[in-house]
Amino acid sequence: MKPAFQDLIPHNHCFGCGPQNSEGLKLKSYWRDDGSSECVYLPQPHQCAGPTGFVNGGIIATLIDCHCICTAMAHAYALAGREIGQGQPIWYVTGELNIQYLAPTPIDEAIKLVAKVENVSGKKMTLSCELMNVTEAPSTPYARATIMAIQVPSNWLKHADIPAMCEKS
């Protein structure tokens, strides 16, 4: 199996997707044969909503956000004809995140996110994402989202790190 996007993107302390964040969700994203990307995640009991059986909406938002932004970066490297993480870094941030929560997401089973790049226009990349049961059974997804990813300059990180956080990892 090829490495996950997150294992190739350098210098990532993100709570959702950073391998270098020991307290984070550490999600992993991969290309699928049809050009979409997927991420399988097993929710943890403490990530519950009010009732203990369902996943908190903010956790769902983080999973969607990080899977889509990492997909945007992976797609941008592919458009540049480079392997992820090779050469001048390509960074994207979340400009907009719109989520429809369609049904409660069970906390005691693996879930799957599938994202697609819908459009690239200058610095802006639009992606769609569905969060569903890991079996991809033909039922309504638990959540559906659109994301606007915005490319930021490769020197953006110079302004964005707290040294103590970097030293910790």
Ligand X SMILES: CCCCC/C=C\C/C=C\C/C=C\C/C=C\CCCC(=O)SCCNC(=O)CCNC(=O)[C@H](O)C(C)(C)COP(=O)(O)OP(=O)(O)OC[C@H]1O[C@@H](n2cnc3c(N)ncnc32)[C@H](O)[C@@H]1OP(=O)(O)O
Q: Are 112 and 30 in contact (CB under 8 A)?
A: no
27-56 residues near ligand X, rule: CB under 6 A: none
Does 21 engage in binding with ligand X (CB under 6 A)?
no
Rounded-to-10 torsion of CA 98, 104, 108, 110 = -40
60 makes contact with ligand X (CB under 6 A): no
Question: Which sign, positive or negative, has the C-alpha torsion 97, 42, 33, 93?
Answer: positive
Closest CA to 71 of 121, 6, 26: 6
Q: Which of 80, 103, 157, 166 binds ligand X (CB under 6 A)?
A: 157
**Residue 91 binding ligand X, by CB under 6 A:** yes
CB of 66 to ligand X, least distance (A): 5
Letter for the amino acid at 107? I
Q: Which is nearer to ligand X, 134 or 157 (by Cβ)?
A: 157
Q: Which residues between 119 and 148 bind ligand X (CB under 6 A)? A: 122-124, 148
Structure letter (DSSP) for residue 15? T
Beta-ladder partners of 148 = 96, 126
- Select from 4, 12, 63, 114 the one that contacts ligand X (CB under 6 A): 12
Give the footprint of ligand X on this chain (CB under 6 A).
Answer: 9, 11-12, 14, 17, 65-66, 69, 91, 93-96, 122-124, 148, 150, 152, 156-157
